[in-house]
Structure formats: C-alpha cells, structure tokens
Structure 1
Amino acid sequence: MTPIDASAAVPTDRIGNVAQQVTGVSYHVGSVPILSNVTLDVRYGAVLALVGPNGAGKSTLLSVLCGDIVPTTGSVACDGRALGDWPARELARARAVLLQSNQVAFSFTAQQVIDMGRAPWIGTPEADEDERAIREATAAADVGHLTERGFPHLSGGEKARVSLARVLAQETRIVLLDEPTAALDLKHQEAVLQIARALAEQGRAVIVVLHDLSLAGAYADEVAILERGSLVARGTPGQVLTEQRIGEVYGAPVRVIPDPDTGRPIVIPRRTH
C-alpha cells in the first residue's frame, strides 16, 4: 500500500474540534438493550478505536454514528448538527463508512465498486477530482491488480481492501471503519491502520472498530472500551489497556507489555502451557 495523499486534507482550524457526538444514547431491540446510555465524542485529527468483547455493542455504536441506526433514546450529531437533519447526499460527503459485510448486490467489477465512492460528488465541482481520488485510493489500498476482476469472486481480504479503496475515494472528513482488519493478513492489517493514522494526521476524524487490542494500542490516539452496551473506559491506550481492566472486561488474563520500539501497549494472553 502507498501513502495517502494530503491534497484533500481537512482544514487545520477543524483539528481538535468535535466531529461527531453521541449523548445519552441507548438502543433496544425489543426489550433487549444493545447500547445503554453511551456518551462519546469523536474529534478531528484523531483515531478513536472502539474495542470490547463480542456482543459489546461496538458495531451497533458505529451504525448509530453513521446514521444507519436511530437510537431508542439520546442524540447523535455531526459537526454540531443533529444527524437526522442531514440530507443523505450531504451526509455522504461528510462521512464514509466501511462495513463488516463488504457485499454488493450485483456482479460489479472491483473498479466499479471503487468508483462508487465518488457518487456523492456527482454534479459538484469536486467531481473534477474523481480520476485523481480513485487513482490514489486504488494505490493506497494496494488493489490496482484487482480492478478488472468481479467483486463477488474476490477473497474476503481482497473484498475488504477494495471496499477500503471505495471509502478512501469518497474523501470525506469523517471515516468510520468496522473491523477493517478482520479478513487481512499481517502486512495488510498494519497497512490499513497506517492509513487510518495518515487520515487522522490530515485532520480527519477516524473511528475504527477493532478486536485486536495490540493494533488499537499501536495506532489509536484514544481507545473506548464497551462492555454489554455500556462505555466502561475511554482514554489513551496506555490509560485504558491495563491488565486488570482487560481481564475484567474480557474475562481472560492478559499481559500488557510496552512495545520496545514505540512504548505503546502490546496485549498478549497469559498462557499456562
């Protein structure tokens, strides 16, 4: 993967400002609570990692942030404006979303899927940037050799990278990534998180759902831990990813050691044999 170009960076006066905010959000399916009174803000210029055990509510919270799910109670805002007040096309120019499924309804080629990222800009002056944006996104996601292949025939990891290219081509100031490393090999896991860091360094707000706590520790500015739909901790990786807290939340003993190169936390299971 190649570095992200900075030509579409967010203006520096936005960096540090709140990009998205959830306030007192709960979400129920029938009588079952999935999220419970979550309050969280996401700032420009930072990577926020959402972590927690299976079923903790991470992907649901991301769906609330992107507007796919309307909370049962509480409010969600984007740039200080209620999410429900945004026209769909305008919202698509503000935030891009990478979902877990990476599926499309028809047999598009990988190139056509990437091109879809530019759809929100049709009819705007920014449409003049389509060719550049698609070219740079394709290179950044390392999928140039896949563009002529049918998307349904790609491997899970290849689909994930093509879908990431679509998100990058969209060139939004807010980027939401749901388990973007789940189907990827070691090289591409690292590359995707390096892209997330590069986007944040351009001033974008990046929210990423991760299962790998060491990846969260290595690349996130802040980590938020969810447990049974509640936000139980938020802070820098060093503050949040402690042996005691991880053991309590995940029900598994771990060892947290500093990376010898960066000093950031590495989380490994404690094994008896």
Structure 2
Amino acid sequence: MSERQAALVASGAGYRAGRATILDDIDLEVRGGEVLALVGPNGAGKSTLLGLLAGDVAPTSGDVALDGRPLPLWHPRELARRRAVLLQANQVAFSFTAQQVVEMGRAPWIGTERADDDPRAIDDAIAATDVAHLAGRMFPTLSGGEKARVSLARVLAQETQIVLLDEPTAALDLRHQEQVLRIARRLAAEGRAVVVVLHDLSLAAAYTDEIAVLAGGRLVARAAPAEVLTAERIEEVYGTPVRVIPDPGTGAPIVLPRREL
C-alpha cells in the first residue's frame, strides 16, 4: 500500500437501483500523487463508482468522504473547488463555442482570489489538450473526439486537486489517447489524485500507478498493473481468453485477446 495520503475514501459504499445491485460494499481510497484506473467489463459499475466518488451519485449504503467529511456535507461550490469530473457524455445545454466551454471550468472560482488565474488556467488547458484551433468553433459542430478534448480542457481549467475522468479516451485517436494519459501522469506528478475509467487494459497498465478491477458490482482486485493484470484474472473477469506479455520498452503488461481465426 502507498504511504500517500488518501483524498477520497469509499467505505462499504453500495448503490442499488430498484432491485438491482449496481455496486456492493466498495472500500476504496483515492490518493494524491497517483493515477488510479477503474477497469472491468460492461455493467461492472465503473461509471457508477466514479459518480459516487464525485458526489454526483448518492450511495444507498456506506459512504464516501473527502478529507474525512462525507460528500453530502460539502456545499456544491466548495466541492467543485476540490474535484473536477469528466463524464462520458460530452454535451452542453446551449450552443457555446469551444472557448466558452473551457471557460466554464473556472466557474467555481468566481469571486475568489483565484479568479485572477482565469486567463492563464484557460490558456494552459487549451494548450495541454491541443484544442486552440477549435476555440472559435461551436461546440455542437465538433466531432466526438474534439468534444472529448474540449471537455477535458474544461476539467483541467478547473484546477482541482482531485480529477475524475470517465472513459476520456473512448472517442480519441491513438495520439490523443496517449496524450490524455500523459496529462493524467503530469497531474499526479503535481500531487493531484487522478481516477480514470478505462476499457483499454494495456493503456491502463502503461500509465497508471494502480488498477482497481470491478466485476459484478464488486471490487475484486486493486494493485500495481503487473500484479492485477494476469491472464487468469482477466479471463475470469471478462470471460474471454487473453495473452499477457511485457512491453519490450517498459515492461508494463500488454493484454492481447487469444483469437481463433
């Protein structure tokens, strides 16, 4: 276990929707200075868990606390200054430009001393996500990948100590997938806590400090990528045969399906 301080702690957290149990008895720490990946098959509860950690979804059992204080006790604006969230659906209610969407990330700091940082924070976020050429475009006209990058820029502009990303690479090409995870690593190097939901196990292994595996709404493993991503565990959780080989350059696990053609 890392000695880094826990920023978010889920204790026995669960979530039921009617008779369906989506998450059950989750104990999870999110620590500053680390990138933690949430992985698992479709329906495992990854996005719901991210929602619990964000305070956007209330657990039906157990609790989630930020700095020892349950999330429901935080004022929404106060919470927005501590954590930023990127959802799967990159939509806005009205037709804003990409620049305006990024600027929305600074809303929690209106009326504070940190509002003076707005121009610098917005420029840094736009540069980091490679969206300067999109700034004047109307958000609805962007491609799925462009929307994802602009939405990530909004999250970065918010400049919080906790960053929660739900499938940030899903709509991106190979170059921008790598870029997003490099950004996550940079945030962690600055001492921030980063949680990212990913489907690409090899990408998770390459860039994260630890991987938490969810299956059937339960946390079945959490450890360093090489410890978690064994062929036996992956085959059990995902129900498909795989090969796991070390990356020749880094030694990180690469997960490949075993195909019979």
What's the TM-score bracket when you normalise by the shorter of the two chains?
Answer: over 0.9
**How many Å separate the matches in 1 of 2:259 and 2:53?**
37
**How many Å separate the matches in 2 of 1:167 and 1:26?**
27
Aligned to 2:70, which of 82, 97, 103?
82
Aligned to 2:191, which of 181, 190, 203?
203
Alpha-carbon offset, residue 271 of structure 1: 1.2
**How many Å separate the matches in 1 of 2:156 and 2:80?**
12
CA deviation vs aligned residue, 1:144-176 (integer Å, no higher than 9, x gap): 000100001100000000000000000000000
Aligned to 2:106, which of 106, 109, 118?
118
Which residue number in structure 2 is paired with residue 248 of structure 1? 236
Structure 1 position 265 matched with structure 2 position 229:
no
Alpha-carbon offset, residue 244 of structure 1: 0.2
Q: Residues 135-214 of structure 1 correspond to what in structure 2 (within 5 A)?
A: 135-214=123-202
TM-score, normalised to structure 2's length? 0.98
**How many Å separate the matches in 1 of 2:141 and 2:68?**
41
Alpha-carbon offset, residue 137 of structure 1: 0.2
**How many Å separate the matches in 2 of 1:261 and 1:80?**
40
Gap runs ≥5 in structure 2:
none
Alpha-carbon offset, residue 16 of structure 1: 1.2
**How many Å separate the matches in 2 of 1:127 and 1:219?**
32
Structure 1 position 73 matched with structure 2 position 61:
yes
SS in 2 for 1:117: helix
Which residue number in structure 2 is paired with residue 7 of structure 1? none
**How many Å separate the matches in 2 of 1:220 and 1:23?**
23
Gap runs ≥5 in structure 1:
1-14
Aligned residues: percent identity? Answer: 69
Aligned to 1:91, which of 76, 79, 82?
79
Alpha-carbon offset, residue 139 of structure 1: 0.3
SS in 2 for 1:160: helix
Moved beyond 6 Å, runs of 4+: none
**How many Å separate the matches in 2 of 1:170 and 1:227?**
32
TM-score, normalised to structure 1's length? 0.94
SS in 1 for 2:22: strand
